[in-house]
Amino acid sequence: MGLDVKQTPILYSIGTHLAYKIAKRYYRNVHYVWCTTEFNSPKQPPTSNPSNICKRYLEQITTGDRHTREIENNITGILKGARAKLDSGIINEKEYNEIRSIVSVAEYEAFFPMLYIIRSNDVKNKCKEVSIENKASDNAIEYKIEDLRENEFEAIFFKDILDGIVEVVDKKVGE
């Protein structure tokens, strides 16, 4: 079973502003995303529902709640991705260390969610269905794209939309 681009013309993924900026600056604007077919499907488990993920990021950056895991998981993912890019020769040791430094001093504001709106037809040949053991549930609809390019998506930055509307905790992550 693959992606039916006629039935599903758009895919959705939530990332963070920090991860987006790192990919843009260090990985030639090539992004690694997990995505699904609806922004807010009640059938999708909360951990793979873009709307729910977005809300959880916003909750964490506005409350500073260190017990939620979205930011921690994002940091882990950014660092794991940087290591993979180093190992594959896409970045060098200096750039890898720069990314680690950027992440280590990141403030909550850096983790504002951003939405990737992906044109399915543009990614149909590189969109991989996530294996059952890596999905949020047996019925989850999840795909990953390891090399999403700038011309294959539109981005909505919630930081721009919510600036002045929500108060962000003014501290570094983990403080």
Helix (H, G, I), strand (E, B) or coil at 36: strand
Please check whether residue 122 lies inside any domain of the structure: yes
Please check whether residue 88 lies inside any domain of the structure: yes
How many separate domains does the chain show? Answer: 1
Provide the token pair at 131.
């294996």
Provide the token pair at 64.
């500073």
Partnered with residue 167 across adjacent β-strands are none
Can you give the pLDDT of all 175 residues of the chain as single tens digits? 466 767 778 999 999 999 999 999 999 999 999 999 999 999 999 999 999 999 999 999 888 877 778 899 999 999 999 999 999 999 999 999 999 999 999 988 899 999 999 999 999 999 999 999 999 988 899 999 999 999 999 999 998 888 777 777 766 666 5
**Domain boundaries, position 127:** 20-150
Gyration radius of the chain's alpha carbons: 16
Please check whether residue 70 lies inside any domain of the structure: yes
Please check whether residue 92 lies inside any domain of the structure: yes
Please check whether residue 162 lies inside any domain of the structure: no
